[in-house]
Chain A
Amino acid sequence: MSVSTEVAPHGHGEHAEHPEYMRHQFDDMDQQNSAASLGMWLFMMTEVMFFGGFFLGYSIYRSEYYESFVNGSHHLAMFLGGLNTVVLITSSVTMAFAVRAAQLGKKNHITAFLVMTLLLACTFMVVKFIEYKDKWDHHLIPGMDFVWTDPGDPRTVQLFYGFYFCMTGMHGLHVIIGVGLLIWLLIRVKQNKFNSEYYAPIENFGLYWHFVDLIWIFLFPLLYLIGGLHE
Chain B
Amino acid sequence: MAEHAEHIEHSGPHIASVSNYLTIFSLLLILTAATVGVALMDLGIFNTVVALMIACVKAMLVILYYMHLKFSPGQIKLAAAAAIFWLMIMLVITAFDYVGRAWQHVPAGW
Contact = CB atoms under 8 A, between A and B. Distances in A.
B36 interface: yes
Interface centre among A89, A95, A207 (most CB of B within 10 A): A89
Interface in A47-90: 48-49, 52-53, 55-56, 59-60, 63-64, 78, 82, 85-86, 89-90
Contacts of A104: 15
A156 to B, nearest CB: 12
A37 interface: yes
B91 A52 contact: yes
A30 B29 contact: no
Interface of B: 1-2, 4, 6, 8, 10, 13, 15-16, 18, 21-22, 24-25, 28-29, 32, 35-36, 39-42, 47-48, 51-52, 54-55, 58-59, 62-63, 65-67, 72-73, 75-76, 79-80, 82-84, 86-87, 90-91, 94-95, 98
Contacts of B10: 30
A100 B58 CA distance: 21
Nearest to A82: B36
Contacts of A147: none
Contacts of A210: 62-63, 66-67
9 contacts: A27-B2, A28-B2, A55-B91, A60-B98, A103-B13, A206-B67, A207-B67, A218-B59, A221-B52
A217 B15 contact: no
- Which secondary structure characterizes the binding site on chain B? helix
Given A59-B95, A221-B52, A227-B47, 9 more contacts: A49-B87, A52-B90, A86-B29, A86-B32, A90-B25, A97-B21, A217-B58, A228-B40, A228-B47
A42 interface: yes
Nearest to B40: A229
Interface centre among A42, A52, A96 (most CB of B within 10 A): A96
A80 to B, nearest CB: 12
A226 B6 CA distance: 47
B55 A89 contact: no
B83 A49 contact: yes
Please provide the 6 A-B residue pairs with the shortest distance between their CB atoms, ordered closest to farther: A225-B39, A45-B83, A221-B51, A48-B83, A30-B8, A93-B25
